[in-house]
Amino acid sequence: MAGESHPVLEARGIVKIFGQHRALDGVDFAVRPGEVHALLGENGAGKSTLIKILTGAYQPDGGEIVLDGAPVRFTDPLNAQGSGIGTVYQEVNLLPNRSVAENLFLGRQPTRFGLVQRHAIVTQATALMATYGLDIDVRAELGSYSVAVQQIVAIARAVELSGKVLVLDEPTASLDRNEVEKLFEVIAKLKARGLGIIFITHFLDQVFAVADRVTILRNGQLIGTRDLSTLTATEVVRMMLGKDLAYGHSSLPVAEAAKGPVKVTFTGLGRADRVAPFTLSLHEGEVVGVAGLLGSGRTEMARLMFGVDTADEGDITVAGKPVKIRNPAQAVMAGFGFCPEDRKLDGIFGELSVRENIIIALQAKLGWFRALQRDEQDEIAGRYADDLDIRAANHDMPVKLLSGGNQQKVILARWLANDPTFLILDEPTRGIDVGAHAEIVRTINRLREEGLALLVISSELDEVVAYSNRVVVMRDRQMVAELHGADITPAVIVAAIADNTLTPEPVT
Ligand SMILES: Nc1ncnc2c1ncn2[C@@H]1O[C@H](COP(=O)(O)OP(=O)(O)OP(=O)(O)O)[C@@H](O)[C@H]1O
Ligand SMILES: [Mg+2]
């Protein structure tokens, strides 16, 4: 259908240079009306940069953009929007303190006699959200909703603004399975309407589920554009990495009970509006995986443990001694580390350098009067950057200039450098390319062998199975199951997550 139609939007021979670094080196790319075109590549391959050039956020250093067969120059994203190109960037750029409705209609509010028609906005916004299957109060602040809802609002806004092309840069990174399905339904509708859709993701199964064609970048170079019907997942990965993936999950010995002494115990820890009281002990050299749907209370549990939210009941002991944790600083002093899911909100200091971002938690723990010397800082940053394969031109560059996945690795490096005895990782592989997933799974297993206690929240069940000694399952803000030994398989975990709540939704 989309088969032989002319491209709606094209990039020809695009070059983009940052300092010494060629982020894009003569890249061709074209999206046709009515197709979903996936753009793939490792962290730092140049995907977001290409999108930013196609949508006017960056100017190219060479090459041209062609819209409907005619060369164009977009001065900024608003300008591109005016030509029918709507974008949801990797980092959501909405206003959390404004209402959902205002965010949807920002800059194009229906007015009468110069006054914004608030009532009209609320009605329209409610109807619009309903088409995405969201029944929410659009007058509430956007920031009061989950990342998933915020993401859908961003998508709805971009779709409404764009007539020809919709660009989605990792739109599903914070969505759970049901929400991803909802989004795919929306994509299918938009595709039928004749929109050209550019889709960036690190989830290969999603690429095969929705995309018609794929373009693969590696180190700023175009590797190729193919019909997905002619490719296997293995071939796609080989094109991305330039080699086969060494994963080796299945060979890892797992699910043995941890033999070390108990390191940290949470007894009856809970908070009325967040998580029902739970009791959990973690041993030295143990990984406890946490499974559950988005919104099941996984992240809330981690936030209570680390004092981001204060518990209103329960006790914590570390190596048998009671500790009080009412804020993250106390958690750090107790030897805890927490690598959060949403790097933009909770983790990264964009203006600070890669080096500073890595050493900041360690420095805070040592106390500022014991300032780390510059060569110590370089040594620590260098070691963890190597371990995790962080790709940055140098460690003095502001971390906001790194690709999204590399920023995620910087936060992980920060908490490893802090030398914790108990480390919480919330979705550690989110936004990270398939090649580096294996690296992170190996890192978790290595930390376990070094005697750390780890709590790892993840939706990637294959990975949970590959590193967990035990798995706890959250549902409806309660800890509902604990799995051991042979029960630690994706199938058993899925069953525990779903339980009897998996009644089919009514078809409307
Ligand atoms: N404004 C900038 N200044 C300097 N370097 C930049 C800038 N923006 C991007 N880069 C560099 O360009 C390269 C490509 O980055 P880009 O964000 O396009 O990667 P990506 O393919 O989207 O990766 P990810 O999957 O991690 O999001 C990276 O090495 C990045 O550090
Ligand atoms: Mg990116």
Distance CA 218, CA 384 (A): 23
Ligand 1 centroid–CA 337 distance in Å is 27
Ligand 2 centroid–CA 49 distance in Å is 7
Distance CA 166, CA 187 (A): 9
Distance CA 458, CA 490 (A): 12
Pocket lining: 435 vs ligand 1, CB cutoff 6 Å: no
Report DSSP letters for 82-128, one per residue. HTTEEEE-SS--S-TTSBHHHHHHTT---EETTEE-HHHHHHHHHHH
Both structure tokens of 110: 């229906």
Please write down the long-range contacts of 108-114, taking CB distance under 8 Å and 24 or more positions apart: 108/161
Q: How high is the mean pLDDT in each 10-residue block of the chain (508 residues)?
A: 76 94 96 97 93 94 96 92 85 82 77 63 89 86 83 83 86 75 85 92 89 96 96 88 60 63 96 92 96 85 94 95 93 91 72 92 83 91 89 89 87 89 92 82 89 94 91 92 91 80 42
> For residue 160, what pLDDT is reported?
80
Pocket lining: 285 vs ligand 1, CB cutoff 6 Å: no
Which among 428, 414, 421 has a CA at the least distance from the CA of 452? 421
Under a CB-based contact definition with an 8 Å cutoff, are residues 493 and 470 in contact? no
Residue 354: half-sphere exposure toward Cβ, Cα within 13 Å = 27
Ligand 1 centroid–CA 49 distance in Å is 6
Pocket lining: 328 vs ligand 1, CB cutoff 6 Å: no
Q: What angle do CA 62, 68, 72 make, to 5 degrees?
A: 35
Distance CA 360, CA 437 (A): 25
Both structure tokens of 191: 């595709």
Both structure tokens of 268: 């009856």
Distance CA 33, CA 196 (A): 4
Nearest residue (CA) to ligand 1, atom 22: 48
Nearest residue (CA) to ligand 1, atom 3: 401
Q: Which ligand is nearest to the CA of 46?
A: 1
| Distances in whole angstroms, Cα of residue 442 to Cα of each of 203, 429, 449, 472, 488 | 19, 12, 11, 21, 18
The torsion angles phi and psi of 66, rounded to 5 degrees, stand at -125, 125
Nearest residue (CA) to ligand 1, atom 29: 44
Nearest residue (CA) to ligand 1, atom 17: 403
Domains for the chain: give ranges and CATH numbers.
9-241 (3.40.50.300), 259-335+420-498 (3.40.50.300), 342-419 (no CATH)
Chain centroid to CA 49: how far? 18
What type of residue is 138?
V
> For residue 207, what pLDDT is reported?
93
- 3-state DSSP assignment of residue 330: helix
Which among 428, 467, 412, 425 has a CA at the least distance from the CA of 286? 467
Ligand 1 centroid–CA 401 distance in Å is 6
DSSP E strand stretches across 219-274 = 221-227, 262-271
Both structure tokens of 189: 């509708």
> For residue 91, what pLDDT is reported?
65
Listed residues: CB within 5 A of ion ligand 2? 48, 90, 403-404
What type of residue is 186?
V
Distance CA 410, CA 418 (A): 12
> For residue 112, what pLDDT is reported?
53
Interval 257-306: pLDDT, tens:
777 899 999 999 999 888 999 999 999 999 999 998 777 889 899 999 99
Under a CB-based contact definition with an 8 Å cutoff, are residues 217 and 27 in contact? yes
φ/ψ region of 255 (left if φ > 0, alpha if ψ in -120 to 50, else beta) reads left
φ/ψ region of 485 (left if φ > 0, alpha if ψ in -120 to 50, else beta) reads left
Which among 363, 364, 392, 400 has a CA at the least distance from the CA of 380? 363
Pocket lining: 443 vs ligand 1, CB cutoff 6 Å: no
Which residue out of 55, 217, 403 has the highest number of ligand 1 atoms within 8 Å of its CB and is therefore the one to mutate? Answer: 403
Distance CA 207, CA 199 (A): 8
What type of residue is 142?
L
Distance CA 432, CA 450 (A): 24
Ligand 1 atom at shortest distance from the alpha carbon of 391: 29
Both structure tokens of 473: 């399952």
> For residue 108, what pLDDT is reported?
66
Chain centroid to CA 391: how far? 18
> For residue 92, what pLDDT is reported?
63
> For residue 77, what pLDDT is reported?
87
> For residue 505, what pLDDT is reported?
42
Burial bucket for residue 357 (CB in 10 Å: 0-12, 13-18, 19+)? buried
Residues near 491 by Cβ (< 8 Å), separated by ≥ 6?
Answer: none
DSSP label of 373: P
Under a CB-based contact definition with an 8 Å cutoff, are residues 421 and 453 in contact? yes
Q: What is the dihedral of CA 85, 32, 202, 473, to 10 degrees?
A: 80
Pocket lining: 404 vs ligand 1, CB cutoff 6 Å: yes
Nearest residue (CA) to ligand 1, atom 6: 401
Pairing of strands 165-169, 62-67: unpaired
What type of residue is 305?
M
- Helix (H) or strand (E) segment spanning residue 47: helix 47-54
> For residue 115, what pLDDT is reported?
56
Both structure tokens of 100: 């959902």
Ligand 2 centroid–CA 74 distance in Å is 20
